[in-house]
Amino acid sequence: MAIKKIFDVLEMDNIDAMRILREVKILRHLNGHPYIVSLEKVIPALNQASGSLINEVYLLCGYVPYDLARLIRSGKLKNGSVPKLTRGILRGLKHIHDSGIMHRDMKPRNILVDENDHVRIADFGLAIGMAAEPTNLINYVVTRWYRAPELLLNNQEYDNKIDLWSLGCILGEMLAKKPLFRGGNAKEQLRLILSVLGKPTEEDTTFVQKAAYRKLLLNMREQERKEFSTLLPTASMEAIDLLKRFLQFHPDKRLSVDTALTHPFLQDSSALDEPCAHDFEARPFVFSTDEEEVPLPAVLDMLAAEVSSASGHPLGSSDSMPSSALDLTKMLTQAMA
């Protein structure tokens, strides 16, 4: 098992506490899918008195030995594994998107991998339901190197296509064995992207919400697109084609998850031996609470109720709560058995 400890909950502001609440809710909603990390149990804090607020929460998740970032850095990632890994990420992402959820932090470190190249998408700390009002969407999400142009251009409205851009960056990193765009800040990140994709056309800037940014893009000096085949000389033409379809500047031009799963790069006989994801019907995730308007005490009450439900016992039942580190160890051991 992997144990994620969330501490000092009572010292958080309402936004951070709401993110913890959403993460638990989303993990429970998606639980059981073969390409998404499993949430096995939620354990409240030590010395939890009846009716008291939670200050620590432990999330017990299924253990997977590696993450994709570590695998790439180690130099042990084989080119033959890239189609299977990409296909697994897409299958997990399809279930996430079909459930009405944006992950909003897709990156190699959040892709867990086992010895058989089976993947599980993890870390839903920034995930959110698609039903959220556009005014509640922040653009400071996704680790910078994997952040889509619409986020770098401060769009306040966006959708799950930001995850598809991130997936393109992940695919490119697997092919190149290093990150494609390593900007030190948002401005440099956008400059690096444009240095490869070239100057956007007027049609490609229609999604940009801020007129000043759109004008800046259209007035930039002419810059030709670089060929990914030159940047990635060892990659196959099928891999290059899939990469180009993900890394489209305009969100609406990016390949959808369903279409990507039929791409020739991902088709081989080994797919028949992989865990079946078709048996898991996506259910809409409904959680539209406005994180900026709910006061912290109310968020903590909702978190306490969620933890109580997820842990399988009432918060007020003192005989089921750990009262020492030894008791916690016993509880964790029982949960892992």
- Torsion of the alpha carbons at 295, 27, 182 and 217, rounded to the nearest 10: -60
d(CA 108, CA 89) in angstroms, rounded, equals 10
CA atoms within 13 A on the CB side of 68: 31
d(CA 337, CA 335) in angstroms, rounded, equals 6
105 catalytic? Reply is yes
The set of residues, in sequence order, having a beta carbon less than 8 Å from that of 53 and lying 6+ positions away, is 9, 10, 300, 304
Q: What single-letter DSSP state applies at residue 65?
A: S
d(CA 192, CA 322) in angstroms, rounded, equals 51
The set of residues, in sequence order, having a beta carbon less than 8 Å from that of 78 and lying 6+ positions away, is none
Single-letter amino acid, residue 239 = A
Concatenating the DSSP letter of every residue in 204-237 gives GGTT---HHHHHHHHTSPP-PPPPHHHH-TTS-H
What is the reported pLDDT for 273?
A: 64
What is the reported pLDDT for 53?
A: 61
- Torsion of the alpha carbons at 20, 22, 25 and 27, rounded to the nearest 10: -80
Report how far apart, in Å, the C-alpha atoms of 235 and of each of 83, 171, 230, 256 are.
11, 11, 10, 22
What is the reported pLDDT for 334?
A: 60
At 223, list the tokens: 């810059």
What is the reported pLDDT for 305?
A: 78
Burial class (CB in 10 A: 0-12, 13-18, 19+), 78: exposed
Q: Are 148 and 162 in contact (CB under 8 A)?
A: yes
The set of residues, in sequence order, having a beta carbon less than 8 Å from that of 64 and lying 6+ positions away, is 2, 37, 112, 113, 114, 120, 122
What is the reported pLDDT for 295?
A: 80
Report how far apart, in Å, the C-alpha atoms of 54 and of each of 12, 15, 76, 295, 305 are.
12, 16, 42, 16, 10
Q: Mean pLDDT per segment of 10 residues, for the chain of length 337 residues?
A: 87 84 91 92 62 76 94 92 96 94 95 95 88 55 89 91 97 96 94 94 94 93 88 94 97 96 85 66 73 73 74 41 50 56
What is the reported pLDDT for 72?
A: 95
Catalytic residue among 67, 105, 117, 163: 105
What is the reported pLDDT for 292?
A: 55
Domains and CATH numbers, the chain: 2-63+295-336 (3.30.200.20), 66-273 (1.10.510.10)
Indicate yes or no: pTM above 0.75: yes
* H helix or E strand, kind and range, residue 199: none
193: nearest Cα among 163, 161, 159, 228: 228
What is the reported pLDDT for 320?
A: 43
Q: Are 7 and 56 in contact (CB under 8 A)?
A: yes
If DSSP codes are grouped into helix, strand and coil, which group holds residue 168? helix
